[in-house]
Chains A and B, each alone.
Chain A
């Protein structure tokens, strides 16, 4: 039986693994991949120690640190966490693990607009990964939906590639980091559409346009690409039957990252912590190991 099973290979899970390894805990790190959504960020400029670093490079550095500590992640998908007599059973697509404590750091996945045309034109102009697909839209007109951090990062990347960019925000103003907003509002190829919602994505084989409503008035905008960068869905399904979630399906945690269940902890984007930031997830990943270490000590 492990003392701890960490679920998730993003900054929260990796930081927890680093701290657990240094405390010589008997633990396993289970992840679908390493880096999580961090790997998708084109430029990170708010992680201390790096003026600018790509998500890909930061992820590589995370991996090297794990390698040095001889942490070998199990690349499996967690299907369910069950309560057991002396702790928990973590069931994956390949195995089953017993653990005294579990840390859920499974992050979140991209949100969908749920409008007509979105499914049909997925990867045919509709994309959820600007970092991956932006170069395919060279000299094309594109729309970005959402003006939080991911939307603004997509805009910054596409400013160097696309011909014209519509930044669509349903609220009255841009939401993300003010420094990023300032760079974007000054760029002549970017048109900012606030109070605007996407109602439909148009196109036969590939995207040819979007229908938006601005202040309730419908309008058709011809674009060849649409980058959907809206709110995320937490990956909390496999513990939803166990722990208390809020209405956004985020796991509710206390100041020590403890959930409503003894021995079960959570950090990062899967939780109700409102700051969905790499550095916040990493910080909580460190903090939680102390809490888990104390909890295990009290059980002995």
Chain B
């Protein structure tokens, strides 16, 4: 079920694609945990380690790492119709 997925999104406050991704989660009633990598360098390192890259947003959906607001990939990872 989509609502039960563990979703973490790594963001920066000024990033429009991060905002779009969060709106997408809200519209689809997906709960998520937001990690602001601009405010905490340890979180930035965690994101870079997980994704092997430095662009935001990064989403960790049940262990699947998605880089960028890739709606098709997010939909697939969440089993959304």
Contacts and interface: CB of A to CB of B under 8 A. Distances in A.
Contact of B15 (A124, A131, A138): A131
Contact of A131 (B14, B37, B44, B48): B14
Interface residues of B, number: 20
A122 B55 CA distance: 9
Nearest to B12: A135
A125 B20 contact: no
Given A124-B54, A125-B54, A131 B16 contact: yes
The binding surface of chain B is classed by DSSP as loop
B41 A132 contact: no
A132 B54 contact: no
Contact of A133 (B20, B41, B52, B56): B56
Interface in B25-70: 37-38, 41, 44, 48, 52-57, 67
B67 A123 contact: yes
6 contacts: A56-B16, A127-B55, A132-B17, A136-B12, A136-B54, A136-B56
Interface of B: 12, 14-20, 37-38, 41, 44, 48, 52-57, 67
Interface of A: 33, 35, 39-40, 42, 54-56, 59, 123-125, 127, 129, 131-138, 157, 205-206, 225
